[in-house]
Amino acid sequence: MRPNLVKAAPWLVVLAMFLLWELVCAGFDIPEFLLPAPSAVWKVGVLQFEPIMMHATQTFLTTLAGFAIAVVVGLLIGMAVGSSPLLYRAMYPLLVGFNSIPKVAFVPVLVVWFGIGTVPAILTAFLISFFPVVVNVATGLATLEPELEDVLRSLGASRLDILGKVGLPRAMPYFFASLKVAITLAFVGSVIAETVASNLGIGYLMMSASSSMNMPLVFAGLIVIGVMGVVMYELFALVEKRMTGWAHRNPNGAT
Partner 1 sequence: MSFVKFENVDLAYAPGGALAIENVSLEVREGEFVAVVGPSGCGKSTLMKLISGLRMPSGGYVYVDGRQVGGPLKIVGMAFQNANLLPWRTTLDNVMLPLEIVEPYRSTLKKARSRYEAEARQLLARVGLAGFEDKYPWELSGGMQQRASICRALIHQPRLLMLDEPFGALDAFTREELWCMLRDLWQLQPFTVILVTHDLREAVFLADTVYVMSKRPGRILVRREIELPRPRDLDVTYTDAFAGHVHELREHIGRVRAT
Binding site for partner 1 (CB under 8 A): 145, 147-148, 150-157, 161, 165-166, 169-170, 172, 244, 246-247, 249, 253
Residue 77: partners with Cβ closer than 8 Å, 6 or more residues away: 91, 95, 130, 134, 138
**95 vs 148, which CB is nearer to partner 1?**
148
Instruction: Find the shortest distance in angstroms from Cβ 178 to partner 1.
Output: 18
Q: What is the number of residues in the chain?
A: 255
**32 vs 161, which CB is nearer to partner 1?**
161
Instruction: Find the shortest distance in angstroms from Cβ 183 to partner 1.
Output: 24
**148 vs 222, which CB is nearer to partner 1?**
148
**97 vs 253, which CB is nearer to partner 1?**
253
**93 vs 156, which CB is nearer to partner 1?**
156
**33 vs 246, which CB is nearer to partner 1?**
246
Residue 119: partners with Cβ closer than 8 Å, 6 or more residues away: 110
Rounded CA-CA distance 160/157 in Å is: 8
Asked whether 92 and 32 are in contact (CB, 8 A), the reply is no
Rounded CA-CA distance 155/165 in Å is: 13
**157 vs 237, which CB is nearer to partner 1?**
157
**Among candidates 134, 136, 129, 135, which has minimal Cα distance to 171?**
136
Instruction: Find the shortest distance in angstroms from Cβ 90 to partner 1.
Output: 21
Instruction: Find the shortest distance in angstroms from Cβ 244 to partner 1.
Output: 8
Asked whether 88 and 81 are in contact (CB, 8 A), the reply is yes
Instruction: Find the shortest distance in angstroms from Cβ 173 to partner 1.
Output: 9
Instruction: Find the shortest distance in angstroms from Cβ 141 to partner 1.
Output: 15
Instruction: Find the shortest distance in angstroms from Cβ 151 to partner 1.
Output: 5
Tell me, what amino acid is at 87? L
Other CB atoms within 10 A of residue 120 CB: 28
DSSP states along 2-28: HHHHHHHHHHHHHHHHHHHHHHHHHHT
Q: For residue 58, which phi and psi values (nearest 5 degrees)?
A: -55, -50
